[in-house]
Structure 1
């Protein structure tokens, strides 16, 4: 199994699914993209094949017609050497993440007292949206959750009756589960909630028979994931055109 590629595939298939449910997914020969004007996410354009200058010209034309910011990810893996081309065409890096994975069959995960409740209606979707925006300072519109919660587990973490954060679990294939949008609201940070949430999610993934968990970590979260057995796979750099920041 090419676990690096499975990590990337989990992420891009998540974008595809959400964009499809929003009637915003566009398929191409060189790149796919989705633009949801009422949400800050997904709004991604990603390459299927290694691009050339002509492809970048088409990308810039596509982005220039959008009314919202479009992010172009770059994965630092073998054969992906087009990052200089992005920079040459005026793209600037706005965020760097680390692709990570763990073999769940080798872990020892203990469910915590944190309750992870799934979004199931408009009320819980609105709460998830609010918590996520507090944690990450950008918005995933609750309408996207209502269109896709049957296929994606949008989770609200509670300590007793107090909501403390969000997460998203998305399964691609029969072996791999992706963990995304895992964040704690500012007033609840530095209390161990993130680690307890991860234990509960990974325990659930093992219980459901998944062999691997994948994610994309920020610099702030990398240490926690390493503690839980995740290993670094690749760097993921996110680029935008400056006029669309």
Structure 2
């Protein structure tokens, strides 16, 4: 097994893994939405990969079997994120037949090391029940906040 950062040549496999993750997380995705995601993701990766989106992968020969995404955003500084750099973990996914072998944990640790080297102040994520113990094992903690988590769909 090889553990490394994804490259532009990986966009096809990254698109497949993103869709597999979404389908496992959300269930059935409407065909029109699925087609749109499949058509737009390669361009997104081309624009962001290894710039502000770091993707860590585990390869079994040429096949990517596990991945973890880190989206880095630079914001105005605050005591909560003193360098202004924050990260969001997305799409931590391992193909079912490769689970429970420590691949995602290895990728998360690589991600955290690189984030420290890049002076990222904090990294956030939303954990599923399945991923919760993994994230705890690499140091993530539950956050109690005085703010409400809110959003609007446009």
Alignment of 1:88-103 (within 5 A): none
Taking a change above 3 Å as real, the CA distance of residues 220 and 237 of structure 1, as seen in their structure-2 partners, is farther
RMSD of equivalent CA atoms: 2.9
**1:142 and 1:222, CA in 2 relative to 1: closer, same or farther beyond 3 A?**
farther
Deviates more, 1:223-232 or 1:148-157: 148-157
Conserved in 2, the CA contact under 8 Å of 1:175 and 1:209? yes
Q: What is the number of residues matched between the two proteins?
A: 124
- Greater per-residue helix proportion: 2
1:166 to partner: Cα distance = 2.6
- Counterpart CA distance in 2 for 1:170 and 1:229 is 18
Within-5 A mapping of 1:61-80: none
Q: Is the 8 A contact 2:67 2:104 kept in 1?
A: no
Match of 1:39 in 2: none
Q: Report if aligned partners of 1:165, 1:183 keep a CA contact under 8 Å in 2.
A: yes
Residue pair 1:156, 1:163 contacting (<8 A) in 2 also:
no
Structure 2 residue runs without a partner (length 5+): 24-28, 75-83
Inter-partner Cα distance in structure 1 for 2:22 and 2:134: 17
CA–CA distance in 2 between the matches of 1:133 and 1:236? 25
Cα pair 1:129 1:142 within 8 Å, conserved: no
Q: TM-score, length-normalised on structure 1?
A: 0.44
Return the match for 2:143 from 218, 221, 233. 233
Find 2:13's aligned residue among 104, 114, 127: 127
Q: 1:127: how far off? A: 1.3
Q: Which has the higher contact order (CA 8 A, sep 6+)?
A: 1
1:88-143 Cα offsets, whole Å, 9 max, x none, are xxxxxxxxxxxxxxxxxxxxxxxxx612213x2xx522211112333442654252
Larger Rg belongs to: 1
Contiguous gaps of at least 5 residues in structure 1 = 1-112, 239-245
Structure number with higher strand proportion: 1
Hey, what does 2:67 align to over in structure 1? Answer: 166
Secondary structure in structure 2 of the residue aligned to 1:233:
coil
Match 2:5 to one of 111, 116, 121: 116
Q: CA deviation at 1:150?
A: 2.9
